C-alpha cells in the first residue's frame, strides 16, 4: 500500500474512532436542562508549592447561563450567559460586566465554559482534538488538545472525566499553571429562585 493511501486510511480510522467516542460519551451523559451542585477548585501556580483552594456552588441552566458562587476563601459570584460575563466580589464589593458583542473573544470563552460544565462534547470537538476512553459501565475519560489557535495559546490540555455528569475537569495552561475542579452533590432541582433568575436575566 502506498504511504499516502496508508496515511489516509489511518486518519479516516482515527476520525471514525473520535466520532464513535463522542457519540458514546454523549449517550452516557444525562441530558439535563438544569444542573446544580458544589465544586472544589485547586489551582497550582507555577513556582508555588501549595495550591490555591476555593470552594462553592454552581447552577447551570442550559438555556439561561451559569452562576458560579465561590464561598471560600473569599465570596464572589460569576454570572455567565451566552452574551455576557459579570463578576461581583462579595456584598458591595468590586464588580464588572463584559458584553460579548463588544468583546469578540468572550463569546469563545463563554462557549468553552458552557461546554465544559455541561459535558457538551460535540461543541468541544469543534475546537479540540478529542481522545479518551469509556470506563466501566457508566464512566468515561477525555483528553482535549486545542486545535483552535487562540485556545492553544492558553491551554496545553484539558482533561475531563465523569459518568452521567461531569465530575472532574483539569486545565493545564501553557504558562505552567494547573487547575483541578471537582464537582459533587449534583442534582437537577430545584429550579432557579428569584435572585438566581434575576442574575441570569441580566
pLDDT one-digit tens code per residue, 138-196: 999 999 999 999 899 999 999 999 999 999 999 999 999 999 999 999 999 999 999 99
Alpha carbon distance 183, 40 (integer Å): 7
- pTM comes to 0.86
Cα–Cα distances in angstroms (integers) from residue 180 to residues 34, 55, 154, in the given order: 23, 12, 16
Residues 6+ apart with CB under 8 A from 94: 88
Helix (H) or strand (E) holding 108: helix 104-118
Residues 6+ apart with CB under 8 A from 201: 64
Give 28-77 pLDDT, tens digit per residue. 999 999 999 999 999 999 888 899 999 999 999 988 999 999 999 999 99
Amino acid at each position: 500500500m502506498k504511504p499516502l493511501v496508508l496515511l489516509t486510511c489511518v486518519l479516516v480510522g482515527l476520525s471514525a474512532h473520535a466520532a464513535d467516542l463522542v457519540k458514546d460519551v454523549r449517550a452516557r451523559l444525562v441530558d439535563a436542562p438544569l444542573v446544580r451542585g458544589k465544586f472544589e477548585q485547586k489551582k497550582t501556580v507555577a513556582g508555588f508549592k501549595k495550591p490555591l483552594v476555593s470552594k462553592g456552588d454552581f447552577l447551570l441552566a442550559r438555556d439561561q447561563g451559569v452562576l458560579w458562587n465561590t464561598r471560600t476563601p473569599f465570596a464572589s459570584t460569576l454570572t455567565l450567559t451566552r452574551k455576557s460575563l459579570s463578576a461581583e466580589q462579595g456584598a458591595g464589593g468590586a464588580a464588572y460586566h463584559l458584553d460579548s458583542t463588544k468583546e469578540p473573544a468572550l463569546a469563545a470563552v463563554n462557549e468553552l465554559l458552557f461546554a465544559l460544565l455541561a459535558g457538551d462534547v460535540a461543541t468541544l470537538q469543534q475546537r479540540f482534538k478529542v481522545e479518551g476512553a469509556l470506563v466501566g459501565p457508566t464512566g468515561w475519560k477525555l483528553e482535549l488538545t486545542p486545535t483552535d489557535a487562540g485556545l492553544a495559546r492558553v491551554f496545553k490540555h484539558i482533561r475531563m472525566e465523569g459518568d452521567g455528569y461531569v465530575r472532574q475537569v483539569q486545565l493545564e495552561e501553557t504558562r505552567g499553571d494547573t487547575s483541578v475542579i471537582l464537582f459533587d452533590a449534583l442534582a437537577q432541582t430545584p429550579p432557579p429562585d428569584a435572585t438566581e433568575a434575576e442574575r441570569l436575566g441580566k
